[in-house]
Structure 1
């Protein structure tokens, strides 16, 4: 039985430059050793310069990913703690694939605005690194909680899972697919009562009429269509991953178990997961079964997940709500993000009148998100009548710029 263990995330593109990275790291290590033998810092300011960026003092490393490491940052004036992702400029310069992935991750982070999505505070840079300054979640990863505690009580699991799926529903409404959902990417606050979805390094924008192709994510959480190497619909694969996560929350182990990767993938393809124990409620079993449906066309949708009795029936929440939610259940029509007029201002009309009407930074971000689209076609999408996804992303970027300018 596979208990919760840390699983790496890979794509075919990452594998191509992995060997090059190993050579580079070996070279840097040798170079560093030589420097340590021959050089020492000449002043305290030289040491401080390496430990500070902007208004933040860099602390210990709290995580590592494909594109960089994550450190604690402490604001020198307020003492506020943040999480700072440190990305090496030298790696970006030597790997065009990594550079594109980091550009896309930054672009998508700028679109996010939801209480249960990690918040990008600012982007800093120096001659050596690029720094993503993000909010810090003191409670750590859901992965760590499950590793230490095993299964969670259903009330607690329901409370956290509702927050996760509400955040994911916001993403899907804005055509953002996460594609790397797993407990390691779900962060908790100090009291471990609220979660935020993090790590959008594999995320992408999906237009309704286009299937995705890139095989990515961790095998234990990957959907059958990704495992089979087929083109896929991003939201459906995210729902599958949520099903695996919910299973792990309620049992303390993963649904698909095998030490042999080939046999593991074969089990995922057939959807044969380890039967849930008797203590798991009938409603929870039904929801997991619906989410772990092999055929993506028959798999439950995220809107249906949010409307499922396990999440909505108050008799299962208990008379005293020990885990109150910070958000109302979604998707009532008037609560749907597409009906929020503070964010969406009649997308049926052009969002700009011409190219001169668009902020240069927003234009550069849009080109990253729509790099397969010509600039002429992208500009036409923004200036035409009728709703479309580029206009939606442009509006989100404009709203972010407005919030920053007004201190919101």
Structure 2
């Protein structure tokens, strides 16, 4: 096993001393997570700037898990191309590190934007919800479940109002029959069935979408401390608590949330159905004509 000193020494790269990986020159750190850092990068002969996610595959007992997550993320990103999902350009590895070269996004985390605004209007929330629903419908059509949908994993370009889902490190391939059993994700956004040993599927993303919409509307994630176990299945005692802090909403919005935040996954609305819901459909009628045409072209490619 790699010693602590070796790991720390390898991890420390001063931002004023760029590091080269293949044809990429890594620069300043622009993001940090539990198992990865993100650096700004430039490629030889290319004027574009990139973001490079760097993972330590020798991180003690977590090394194997990190390598698995790297493989899952790369496999998912190679298969997809959607305006609301971050794009991968390349992937590399060294003896001790794994690198995912991604498009460089300008903007802010949706969670930070929502917190600063102390909640968004229903109209603005609708626009962002439609984009997230479109992305999830595309992922699920390609048999990919994200497993960690939350505003912390969404980048918002405040000028164009375009959202992009990031961090597919927990993503997995999931056919029509739910079979995933690994308990993962962020507890506040985690669907109840994730703790059930019988398996789960794409429906977990739809629960997380519902929680994320609630957060957008009220300015903070709902506190779900009303979960109690009955046998091996968690039971939500007072689901209405999730709606308690919300402002006055349209009937379509309430119905949309209600159909996402269903305890049992088989009763939960799918992403494809969500795209046809009256609340989401109303978003298209309020967009300028050129944006509607762009969206329809995107759906055709899906």
Q: TM-score, normalised by structure 1?
A: 0.63
Q: Distance in 1 between matches of 2:24 and 2:228?
A: 44
The structure 2 residue matched to 1:305, chosen from 274, 293, 297, is: 274
Are 2:10 and 1:65 equivalent residues in the alignment?
no
Q: Structure 1's 94 and 157: CA in aligned 2 closer, same or farther, altered over 3 A? A: closer
The structure 1 residue matched to 2:222, chosen from 238, 247, 255, is: 255
Counterparts of 1:42-191 in structure 2, within 5 Å, are 51-75=19-43, 77-91=45-59, 95-189=63-157, 191=159
**What is the CA-CA distance between 1:208 and the residue it aligns to?**
2.0
Q: Structure 1's 167 and 211: CA in aligned 2 closer, same or farther, altered over 3 A? A: same
Q: TM-score, normalised by structure 2?
A: 0.83
Q: Distance in 1 between matches of 2:22 and 2:72?
A: 23
Q: Structure 1's 293 and 106: CA in aligned 2 closer, same or farther, altered over 3 A? A: same
**What is the CA-CA distance between 1:278 and the residue it aligns to?**
4.0
Q: Distance in 1 between matches of 2:289 and 2:33?
A: 35
**Number of equivalent positions:** 292
Instruction: Tell me, yes or no, if the aligned pair for 1:137 and 1:190 is still in contact at 8 Å.
Output: no
Q: Distance in 2 between matches of 1:76 and 1:330?
A: 32
Query: Which runs of 5 or more residues in structure 2 are unaligned?
Result: none
- 3-state SS of 2:274 partner: helix
Q: Distance in 2 between matches of 1:336 and 1:301?
A: 20
Q: Structure 1's 74 and 169: CA in aligned 2 closer, same or farther, altered over 3 A? A: same
Q: Distance in 2 between matches of 1:108 and 1:92?
A: 25
- 3-state SS of 2:25 partner: strand
1:350-375 alpha-carbon deviations (Å, 9 max, x no partner) = xxxxxxxxxxxxxxxxxxxxxxxxxx
Q: Which residue does the alignment assign to 2:260?
A: 291
Which is greater in Rg?
1
Instruction: Tell me, yes or no, if the aligned pair for 1:177 and 1:203 is still in contact at 8 Å.
Output: yes
Instruction: Tell me, yes or no, if the aligned pair for 1:223 and 1:268 is still in contact at 8 Å.
Output: no
Instruction: Tell me, yes or no, if the aligned pair for 1:141 and 1:184 is still in contact at 8 Å.
Output: yes
RMSD over aligned Cα atoms:
3.3
**What is the CA-CA distance between 1:269 and the residue it aligns to?**
2.8
Deviation larger for 189-198 or 234-243: 189-198
More strand by share: 2
Query: Which runs of 5 or more residues in structure 1 are unaligned?
Result: 1-19, 36-40, 42-46, 338-408
**What is the CA-CA distance between 1:250 and the residue it aligns to?**
1.5
Instruction: Tell me, yes or no, if the aligned pair for 2:55 and 2:66 is still in contact at 8 Å.
Output: no
Q: Which residue does the alignment assign to 2:212?
A: 245
